[in-house]
């Protein structure tokens, strides 16, 4: 049976996300916890890598459906990986434990970003932002990508859209 855009797995994950999800995280404990969370949400295949070169190889080899990308990868950052994901038309969300200190390059100003540690609800909201029509949200995602109903119920559990200039960052609503 072929999945369609309206079919969903048990936790609201689109059946069309039957392809692998790429997790780029250099902290093994966070990676293991996130893999478990993604699987509990109905994601069948999670490919976990810890550095940009492994991530670029995984993108080429597996064509993931979605990626969760840690910005700080040890001595590297995830920006080259984000560029590759954009070129491959693969939706992604940045994750960082330094959300108040990070300065994203201007080319990523509209990229969704979540703060570590994140919850299942935050990951679900991040997926909803990247797959709005497949998850049944119909709100305009131009600003912060938040579904108004979710925004009202759980405002603290939403991915943040950050607006950056050369010196500081402010959260947009």
Pick the residue with more confidence: 26 or 162? Answer: 26
Q: State what percent of residues in the chain have pLDDT above 90.
A: 50
Whether pLDDT at 143 is above 50: no
- For the chain, counts of helices (H) and of strands (E): 5, 9
Tell me the pLDDT band of 103, cut-offs 50, 70 and 90.
Answer: confident
Tell me the pLDDT band of 132, cut-offs 50, 70 and 90.
Answer: low
Average pLDDT rounded to a whole number, residues 29-48: 93
Whether pLDDT at 136 is above 60: no
Q: What's the CATH fold of domain 21-171?
A: Rossmann fold (3.40.50)
Structural domain boundaries in the chain: 21-171
Given a contact cutoff of 8 angstroms between Cβ atoms, the answer to whether 102 and 95 are in contact is no
Whether pLDDT at 89 is above 80: yes
Tell me the pLDDT band of 32, cut-offs 50, 70 and 90.
Answer: very high
DSSP state of 8: B
Full strand arrangement of the beta sheet holding 46-49: 46-49, 21-24, 66-70, 92-96, 112-115, 160-164, 169-171
């Amino acid at each position: 049976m072929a999945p369609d855009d309206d079919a969903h797995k048990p936790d609201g994950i689109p059946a069309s996300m039957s392809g692998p999800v790429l997790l780029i995280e250099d902290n093994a404990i966070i990676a293991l916890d996130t893999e478990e969370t993604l699987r509990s949400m109905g994601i069948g295949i999670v490919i976990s890598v810890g550095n940009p070169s492994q991530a670029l190889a995984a993108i080429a080899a597996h064509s993931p459906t979605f990626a969760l990308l840690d910005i700080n990868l040890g001595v590297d950052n995830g920006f080259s990986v984000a560029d590759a994901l954009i070129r491959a038309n693969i939706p992604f969300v940045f994750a960082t434990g330094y959300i108040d200190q990070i300065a994203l390059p201007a080319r990523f100003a509209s990229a969704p970003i979540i703060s570590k540690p994140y919850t299942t609800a935050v990951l679900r909201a991040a997926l909803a932002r990247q797959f709005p029509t497949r998850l049944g949200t119909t709100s305009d995602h131009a600003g912060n990508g938040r579904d108004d109903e979710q925004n009202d119920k759980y405002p603290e559990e939403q991915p943040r859209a950050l607006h950056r200039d050369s010196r500081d960052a402010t959260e947009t609503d």
